[in-house]
Amino acid sequence: MIPQTFDYTVPKTLDEALGLVANGAKPLAGGMSLIPMMKLRLAAPDHLVDLGKLPGLSYIREEVGALHIGATTTHHEVESSGLVRGKCPLLAEAAAAIGDVQVRNMGTIGGSTAHADPSADYPAALQALEAKIVIKGAKSERTVAAADFFVDTFTTSLEQGELIREVIVPIEDSATGTSYQKLVQPASGFAIVGIAARVRRSSGKIAMARIGVTGLSNRSYRAKAAERALEGTSGSAAEIQHAAALVAEGVDANSDLHASSEYRKHMAIVYAARALVAALARTA
Ligand SMILES: Cc1cc2nc3c(=O)[nH]c(=O)nc-3n(C[C@H](O)[C@H](O)[C@H](O)COP(=O)(O)OP(=O)(O)OC[C@H]3O[C@@H](n4cnc5c(N)ncnc54)[C@H](O)[C@@H]3O)c2cc1C
């Protein structure tokens, strides 16, 4: 299908982009979600403001204890960055799991985060990493925890006139191990379920466990009951299985032609156990 006609602006500065967005223009980043939606007429913006060529919005920088990743940094740049792979490998692993090489070359971390697809990969990793999303408006800037950012299906805490400027993720220490495990829907590459696990060992015990879940329900979330069940244990096979069994507890699981809710819940438990085993094996 052909999209409805629209105006198209390539802004020269972030302030110009913010001014246009404040007046109702729709941001365009990699176009990997927005353009298909426009072609299907699920979205019909009058005006697109192309962030892709904005100077200064694509970067990966190390600053005190954290990596700062600019909104238009592509999935490929995240996946292949030595800095991300070395200092926040969970994010690189999630980026590498996205779609195919064409999608990873065009799609951006800001676009994926703002789009909040309930089966997208980054949201699970960002939840497990307790990432922060830096949001810029025309006159203000605020920072929102990933846990508060993803509100519902395709719905975030972004307000009219705001853009994601960057995503901040922690630099991991050697006692922390991470893993992203995903059951892929083969036609699209999206997650039927995806589990991001992040664990830290201290004196032989699991001192910290963070588990981000995607694909299972209307939005990504932290499986807090499972995290609590794991913390303080030694991470034996039985303890991992017990914790993994809690990832889908109380969740209203999605059901579609790819997977029933019962299958998704079962697979969430299977993939949570796999992710936890892999993450624990990576702790020093
Ligand atoms: C064939 C195919 C397979 C895919 N497989 C996967 C997969 O396996 N896993 C996965 O996670 N994703 C997958 N995707 C989605 C892909 O990751 C997209 O890159 C992502 O969802 C959107 O990023 P984008 O940069 O292309 O954003 P766009 O499509 O340009 O924009 C998406 C939305 O975000 C808004 N937006 C963009 N940038 C900003 C910003 N900085 N601030 C505020 N709002 C902004 C736009 O207005 C729009 O509403 C797939 C896509 C395709 C086409």
- Helix/strand/coil for 245: coil
1 — pLDDT class (breaks 50, 70, 90): confident
C-alpha of residue 34 to centroid of ligand 1, in Å: 7
SS3 133: strand
Residue nearest to atom 9 of ligand 1 (CA): 98
pLDDT of residue 65: 92
Q: Which atom of ligand 1 is nearest to the CA of 106?
A: 26
Predicted local distance difference test score (pLDDT) of residue 269: 98
d(CA 255, CA 134): 33
Mind listing the pLDDT tens digit for each residue in 228-263? 999 999 999 999 999 999 999 999 999 999 999 999
Mean pLDDT score, 197-214? 97
Q: Best of 38, 115, 135 to mutate for ligand 1, by most ligand atoms within 8 A of CB? A: 115
Average pLDDT across the chain, whole number: 97
Per-residue pLDDT for 2 more than 90? no
Q: pTM higher than 0.75 for the full model?
A: yes
- Residue to probe by mutation, ligand 1, list 6, 18, 33, 53, most atoms within 8 Å of CB: 33
- Give the tens place of pLDDT for each residue, 145-160: 999 999 999 999 999 9
